[in-house]
Structure formats: structure tokens, C-alpha cells
Chains A and B, each alone.
Chain A
Amino acid sequence: MTTTYGWLVLAFPLLGTMVIGAGYRKLPGRSAGWIGTAAIGLAFLAALATLVSLQGHASDHRQLTSSLWNYASTAGIDAQMSILVDPLSVFMILIVTGVSTTIHLYSVSYLDQDKGFARYFAYLNFFVFSMLLLVLAGNFLLLIVGWAFVGAASYLLISFWYRRTTATQAGIKAFVINVVGDVGLVLGTYFLFKHTGTLDFLKAFKAAPNVFTSGEGDVTAGCLLLLVGAFAKSAQIPLHTWLPDAMEGPTPVSALIHAATMVTAGVYLIARMHPFFELAPAAQDVGAIIGCATLVIAATIALTQTDIKRVIAYSTMSQIGYMIMGVSVGAYAAGMFHLMTHAFFKALLFMGAGSIIGAMAGEQSLEKMKGFRKAMPFTFACFVIGGLALSGIPPFSGFFSKDEILLVTGERGGWHWALYAFGYLGAFMTAIYTFRMIFRAFYGDPVEQAKELEGGHPHHAAEPTNPATGEVEDTDVGFPGPTHAIAERALPMKVAMTILAIGAIGAGLVQIPEVDDVITKFLEPSFAGSTLYTVHTRDGLLVFGLILGTVLGLSGIAIAWRIWVKQPQVAVSARTRFKPLYTLFVNKWYFDELIDALVVKPAAASGRFASTTFERVFIDGAIVGGATSLVRAGSASVRAIQTGLLRYYAALVVLGVAALGLYFLLQT
């Protein structure tokens, strides 16, 4: 029964995609949006039913598989259409469907006037379906299928406004980098499959300790390749550059990518593959170090960006860095817990940002926003709740989850203390950049747009323009629609944001250390064989961490208040005093340029070499030209025999027959 609910979770979004996709011309008004929302909402209910019925099983029987049919069962390959329902996957489907439902609801208003309304919801449902397939997959094959589907869906949605060249370029970039990750995932699967001999997760996990010795070459290589996949999907250094560019998509899509689907896939992958990772300590260390580097670097970049969505995007990178670090050091429950709380407050922040962008008529630059506090009280409240949760201020949700990751990291001891310290440094910067964003957008003297809104009229740009390039756009299909949705004026948006705000405030309470530990206990059956899955022991460190986190968060907010509200000139003087650092951060540590120089330019140069030199000289000249001249020379020599003289032919025939006759005579 439990697995039937699991299949239903997959079926509803797929059905929604097909209905909306097939009927996109016929569906009247907003019905496509409501169908899409209902499909995900039903999937959420099915996920709840899965949870309830899974809890009905004994705790050592909570890993259920169900297979619909065999893809292939030949030559030792057991590829089945199978799902694995266990606490980890149920936890993921609850987050994915729950947060996606609110995002769908929000989108119904946000994209109301867009010409691609039905297309949007078909894509959105497909995206959620892909992510659910990824997390419910019961074997490597289906995991790879879901993994690739998510990449394709993200491409479709990032390039949703396909008449914008910036959007199509961002979509291509995301897709290409994700394919790099896909290749890593597939190759990693080969390494593991070679030894375990099965694609099925449970069988492979069971076989892992028997066929691999700890730290062996093949399992380390396999796990490192899996990490490549995880890094590309979860936007970790150096495969992160697609994520900020992905902000070209509609704002709810950014919320979906950052909160519920896509970027969390890498975290899930590492948690899911923990039996292999625990046999490959080197790969775990790489994951932890890269996660830590990402969280610090992304936080520094977020300090200097001026595009509101990009600030939130870098903050996502940073938070995913915490999760990757967490699941890599063995803090599985803490990592998944942070994934959940992050889903709530990040989706909330994106929705708030979408609302402000609506009020600014499409403008995203923080430089031009000011004083929206009075004009948009609801958005302001939601933004502050999300910001407090992101900064880790008690009792908001981010406080508990972030500190727990760092606590487990610290408990590992040794060089992990460095990760611990950097984690708190990142937390400090998180508070600064989050409140920098809030203070710049909501405080100060209201700008013209905010005044108009206070007067009761949302601002409308004279001509719709692309915020990235300033090009004038029309509002036909493939461009953003003419309306600008604001949470204060659209009930579905308000409802969605309220739900998420409640989650952002309260979700942390399910796992208060030493009090309830709901998530640790719930996820335990999925990590039954894990050696690292332990409840923390150092109470002193726990209390120290909680206090340190609070102090750092509050002082970060205080610094942000001082710099951007009290004494705005400090920002300018700090910028000039730390000029080299500022340049480094504002140029995103030159990662785009680095990848451009290391990968893109050489690839383009070798392509040019191939097309101009290699193809001209070798292919066209030697192979193609050689073949034709050979045939020409041969046919010229044969042509001489073709005289056209009848008598000559006759003589040839006679001579031929005579020669044959002579041959046979001599034979006998």
C-alpha cells in the first residue's frame, strides 16, 4: 500500500503535465494554473499518505521497493522500473511536493497575463515530476533518468522567456553544465556497478561493504564522479556558474529551482549514496572541503551583488554548501533538516523578491530600490521572516538546522575544526548580506515606485525592458507578460507566502537538539548501516554553537544596519578601502572568466582549428580529394578500352572465347 501511494506521488504531476501540455490551446483562462496546482497538491496529499502508511511499518522494515516492470534483465543487468520508498525519499517528496504546491499557487497570479501561461505550468509540473522521479528512484538507472529530466526541465524553464537572448543563453549554460554532471553521475555508476553487479539501490548498498574495502581506488573514483554530478546539480564550485545566470527565468522558477527541486538533488544524492561514501573517506573529504569553500565564496560574492535575485541565488549556493558539507561529514539528518528549512525560507525570499520586482515593474537592481516598507507591509514582513531564518536567528528555522550541521562537523575533530570555523564565518556573512538586501530595498526614503504604490497604483514601466540589458521588449509570447503581480494585491500569492512564512518560522521546532530530534529519529531507518549516523555527544559544544550562531547572526544584522541604514557613507568608504577584495567579490571571484579561459576558449579554438585547418587540409584535401582523384584516374584508364567500335568488341569476344576454350583444352 505504501508503495502505491509512492507511485501516486509520481502519477499526479505526470498527469498534470500531459493534460496541460495536450490541452494548452483549449484550456480557458487560468484553468491550466489551477490544474497544475491541483496536480502537485494531490501529489502532496499522496506523499502525506505515504508518510502515514510508512510509519505503520516496523522501524526495521521501512525500506520498501516496488517494481512495475523490467526494463532489461540481461547479461547481469537488473534494470527495473522500481521506486524505493524509505524515510529519506519520503522526506524528500514531502518537501518537494509541499513547497512546489505553494510555488504553483504563487505562479497562478504571478504569471497571470503571460502569453505562455499554460506552457509554463506544463513545464512546471514536468519539473516537479522529474524531481520526484529522481528522489523516488529505486535504482541507478531511474536515478539517472530523473537526473537528466531535471536538467532538461530546468533548461526549459530558465529559457522560458525565449525571446530574451540573455534567457536562452542562461538556459544553455545551465544545461551544458548539468550535462557535465550527468556524465559524472553515469561514470560513477559504472564504477560502482562494476563491483556490486546490481543497479538496485538496496542490493548495491548491501553488497558495498563486501565488495569494497575502505578507501579502495574504485569506490573512491566512483564516489568522486558522483560528486561531480552532485556539484553540477547543486551549483558547487567550480560548476556553480549556471545558478546565478538561471535568475533569467521567471521568479517562481527561481524559487522552485532553489528551494524544492534541482539544487537539493546533489545533497540528496550524497545522503542516498552514503554506504559508498563511507567507504571512500577521501571523496567525503573532497565533498566537505568543496562545500565549505562554496559556502564562504558564495557568501562573499553575495555581499557585493546588486541584483536582488542574484544575491538570493548566491545565498542559495552558500546554503547548499552547508548541506553538502553536512552530508559529506556524516551529518545526514542535519543536512536534510537544513534542506527542509532552507526550502521554506528560500522559497519565501524568492517570492518576496518577485513581489518587489513586480512593484518595480521588472527592475531587479537593489540600487534603484528603496523604502518599500510602508508600501508593501506584507512582503516586508515575509522578507524579514525569511531573512531572520536565513541568518539563523532563534527561534527561526535556519537557526537550528545550520548549527546542527556545524556541530556534527566540529565533533569529527581534527581539521574539521577549520570547516567549523569557516561555517560560522559564512553564517556571519549570511546575516550581513541578507539584511543588506532588506535594508536597501525596504528602508530609506521611498523611491518613486514605492510612492506610487502607497498612493494605490502599482508602477508600470512606460516600455517593458529586459532588466539585464535594458533592451526594449514587447509582451507577446516568449516575453514577460504586461502585468506586475504584487503579493499585497493577489490572494494566491499571499496565501502561498503565508504558508511558507509559517514554515520558515516553525519548521525548526521539529528538531530542537536534545528535545525532540524528530528528523534524526525519522530518518534513522534509511541510515541503518551508517557508522557516522550518531546523535551528538558533546553538550558543551552544542550550547556554545547555539550561542555563537545567535551572536554572529545578530552582530551581522547590526553591522548591516550600521552600514546601510545609519551611515550609508560607510559602504562607500569600505568599498574604496578594500578595493582589491571588493573587485574580486563583485566579479564573482572571476570564476566565469576562469572557466572561459580554461574550457570555453580552448574548446572554441580547437573547434576553429578543426574546421579551418584539419577539415580543409586533411578531410577535404587528403581523404575526400584523394578518393575522388583515385576514382578519376582509374576510370580514365578504363575508359580507353571503351572505343565504341563494334568490330573491336566482337574481336574481344572472339578472342576471349578462344582463350577460354584454349584454357579448358589445356586443362584436359
Chain B
Amino acid sequence: VSIAWYLAVSAIVFCTGAFGVMTRRNPLVVLLCLELMLNGANLSLIAFSRMWGNGDGQVLAIIVMTVAACEVCIGLGMIVAIHRRRLPIDVDELRELQG
């Protein structure tokens, strides 16, 4: 299979994720979409790794997964905290940083 196919799938997954991050308002879904973006990137890393026939890309992919796990921990923790404080579960409503 040509590498182009892998890259095409990777790009589709990534764009889906990015689109979701930009359009969805539920933080839970935003987190999910972020995961999609990360995994899209992972897919292309592994595809390239296979193409070159060495493990560098795979190592990088594992690191990305680790980072993703941490990020999910923090993200979910924040969502729980938001929920506990009875704030709206909506990223558009959480805009205290407005200048």
C-alpha cells in the first residue's frame, strides 16, 4: 500500500478533530476531538516510521500517547471541577480571559 493512503487517512482524522475543536461547544467533545487530532498525527508518524524502516517514528508516537494521556487527565479533571462549581459545561460561556 502506498504511503499516500496512510497520509490521507491521517489527514482526514486530523481535520475531523480540528473541525470538531473549532465547532463543538461541549468541553468533553472538544477533548475527544483533540485526541482525534493527536491520533491523526500518530498515524502519519507510524506510517513514516514504516516507510523508513526504523523505530524513531514509533518512539515519537508513544511519547505523543503519553502526552495525550496526561492531557486527558488534566482536561477531564478540569471538566469535573467545572461541573462541581456548577458552571455551565460550555466552552463559549467560560470566557473570563476576555480582554
Residues of A in contact with B (beta carbons under 8 Å apart): 638-647, 650-651, 654
Is A644 within 8 A of B96, CB to CB?
Answer: yes
Chain A positions within 8 Å of B94 at CB level: 646
Is B21 within 8 A of A647, CB to CB?
Answer: yes
> How far does the Cβ of B2 sit from chain A's closest Cβ, in whole Å?
20
Is B99 within 8 A of A642, CB to CB?
Answer: yes
Supposing A650-B21, A650-B22, A654-B18 touch, asked if A645 and B92 sit within 8 A by C-beta, the answer is yes
Chain B positions within 8 Å of A645 at CB level: 91-92, 95, 98
Give the complex CA separation of A641 and B98 in angstroms.
9
Chain B positions within 8 Å of A654 at CB level: 18, 21-22
Give the complex CA separation of A640 and B98 in angstroms.
9
Chain B positions within 8 Å of A647 at CB level: 21-25, 91-92
Chain A positions within 8 Å of B23 at CB level: 647
> How far does the Cβ of A633 sit from chain B's closest Cβ, in whole Å?
14
Chain B positions within 8 Å of A644 at CB level: 95-99
Supposing A651-B22, A654-B18, A654-B22 touch, asked if A646 and B30 sit within 8 A by C-beta, the answer is yes
Is A641 within 8 A of B22, CB to CB?
Answer: no
Chain A positions within 8 Å of B91 at CB level: 645-647
Interface residues of B toward A: which range?
Answer: 10 to 19
Chain B positions within 8 Å of A643 at CB level: 95, 98-99
Q: Which residue of B lies closest to A638 (CB)?
A: B99
> How far does the Cβ of A665 sit from chain B's closest Cβ, in whole Å?
14
The 3 lowest CB-CB distance pairs between A and B, nearest first, are A642-B99, A644-B98, A644-B95
Chain B positions within 8 Å of A640 at CB level: 99
Interface string of B71-99 (1 = CB under 8 A from A): 00000000000000000000110111111
Q: Which residue of A lies closest to B25 (CB)?
A: A647
> How far does the Cβ of A76 sit from chain B's closest Cβ, in whole Å?
60
Give the complex CA separation of A641 and B97 in angstroms.
11
Kindly identify which residue among B18, B22, B25, B97 contacts A642, using a CB–CB cutoff of 8 Å: B97
Give the complex CA separation of A644 and B92 in angstroms.
8
Chain B positions within 8 Å of A646 at CB level: 30, 91-92, 94-95
Give the complex CA separation of A490 and B48 in angstroms.
110
20 intermolecular pairs with C-beta atoms under 8 Å apart: A638-B99, A639-B99, A640-B99, A641-B99, A642-B97, A642-B99, A643-B98, A645-B92, A646-B94, A646-B95, A647-B21, A647-B22, A647-B23, A647-B91, A647-B92, A650-B18, A650-B22, A651-B22, A654-B18, A654-B22
Residues of B in contact with A (beta carbons under 8 Å apart): 18, 21-25, 30, 91-92, 94-99
* Listed residue (A640, A642, A647) with the most chain B CB atoms within 10 angstroms of its CB: A647
Chain B positions within 8 Å of A642 at CB level: 97-99
Give the complex CA separation of A639 and B98 in angstroms.
8
Give the complex CA separation of A297 and B63 in angstroms.
98
Give the complex CA separation of A644 and B30 in angstroms.
16
Give the complex CA separation of A654 and B92 in angstroms.
18
> How far does the Cβ of B93 sit from chain A's closest Cβ, in whole Å?
10
Chain B positions within 8 Å of A638 at CB level: 99
Q: Which residue of B lies closest to A635 (CB)?
A: B99
Give the complex CA separation of A645 and B23 in angstroms.
12
Chain A positions within 8 Å of B30 at CB level: 646
Chain B positions within 8 Å of A641 at CB level: 99
Q: Which residue of A lies closest to B98 (CB)?
A: A644
> How far does the Cβ of B73 sit from chain A's closest Cβ, in whole Å?
19
Q: Which residue of A lies closest to B27 (CB)?
A: A646
Give the complex CA separation of A651 and B91 in angstroms.
14
Q: Which residue of B lies closest to A648 (CB)?
A: B22
> How far does the Cβ of B17 sit from chain A's closest Cβ, in whole Å?
10
Q: Which residue of B lies closest to A652 (CB)?
A: B22
Give the complex CA separation of A643 and B94 in angstroms.
11
Chain A positions within 8 Å of B98 at CB level: 642-645
Chain A positions within 8 Å of B95 at CB level: 643-646
Q: Which residue of A lies closest to B95 (CB)?
A: A644
Chain A positions within 8 Å of B21 at CB level: 647, 650, 654
Q: Which residue of A lies closest to B91 (CB)?
A: A646
Apart from A646-B30, A647-B25, 9 more pairs, CB < 8 Å: A638-B99, A642-B99, A643-B95, A643-B98, A644-B96, A646-B91, A646-B95, A647-B22, A654-B22
> How far does the Cβ of A638 sit from chain B's closest Cβ, in whole Å?
8
Chain A positions within 8 Å of B22 at CB level: 647, 650-651, 654
Give the complex CA separation of A643 and B96 in angstroms.
9
Give the complex CA separation of A309 and B41 in angstroms.
99
Give the complex CA separation of A651 and B33 in angstroms.
13
Give the complex CA separation of A640 and B96 in angstroms.
14
Q: Which residue of B lies closest to A640 (CB)?
A: B99
Q: Which residue of A lies closest to B92 (CB)?
A: A645
Give the complex CA separation of A593 and B23 in angstroms.
85
Give the complex CA separation of A645 and B30 in angstroms.
13
Chain A positions within 8 Å of B97 at CB level: 642, 644
Give the complex CA separation of A640 and B24 in angstroms.
23
Q: Which residue of A lies closest to B97 (CB)?
A: A644
Give the complex CA separation of A642 and B23 in angstroms.
19
Q: Which residue of B lies closest to A647 (CB)?
A: B22
Give the complex CA separation of A647 and B21 in angstroms.
7
Q: Which residue of A lies closest to B15 (CB)?
A: A654
Give the complex CA separation of A651 and B24 in angstroms.
12
* Listed residue (B18, B22, B96, B98) with the most chain A CB atoms within 10 angstroms of its CB: B22
Give the complex CA separation of A643 and B95 in angstroms.
7
Q: Which residue of B lies closest to A639 (CB)?
A: B99
Give the complex CA separation of A650 and B97 in angstroms.
15
> How far does the Cβ of A488 sit from chain B's closest Cβ, in whole Å?
88
> How far does the Cβ of B92 sit from chain A's closest Cβ, in whole Å?
6
> How far does the Cβ of B8 sit from chain A's closest Cβ, in whole Å?
16
> How far does the Cβ of A462 sit from chain B's closest Cβ, in whole Å?
77
> How far does the Cβ of A652 sit from chain B's closest Cβ, in whole Å?
10
Q: Which residue of B lies closest to A646 (CB)?
A: B91
> How far does the Cβ of A164 sit from chain B's closest Cβ, in whole Å?
62
> How far does the Cβ of B68 sit from chain A's closest Cβ, in whole Å?
17
> How far does the Cβ of A657 sit from chain B's closest Cβ, in whole Å?
9
Chain A positions within 8 Å of B24 at CB level: 647
Q: Which residue of A lies closest to B37 (CB)?
A: A654
> How far does the Cβ of B77 sit from chain A's closest Cβ, in whole Å?
17
Q: Which residue of B lies closest to A654 (CB)?
A: B18
> How far does the Cβ of A660 sit from chain B's closest Cβ, in whole Å?
14
Q: Which residue of A lies closest to B99 (CB)?
A: A642
Give the complex CA separation of A167 and B73 in angstroms.
79
Chain A positions within 8 Å of B18 at CB level: 650, 654
Chain B positions within 8 Å of A650 at CB level: 18, 21-22
Q: Which residue of B lies closest to A643 (CB)?
A: B98
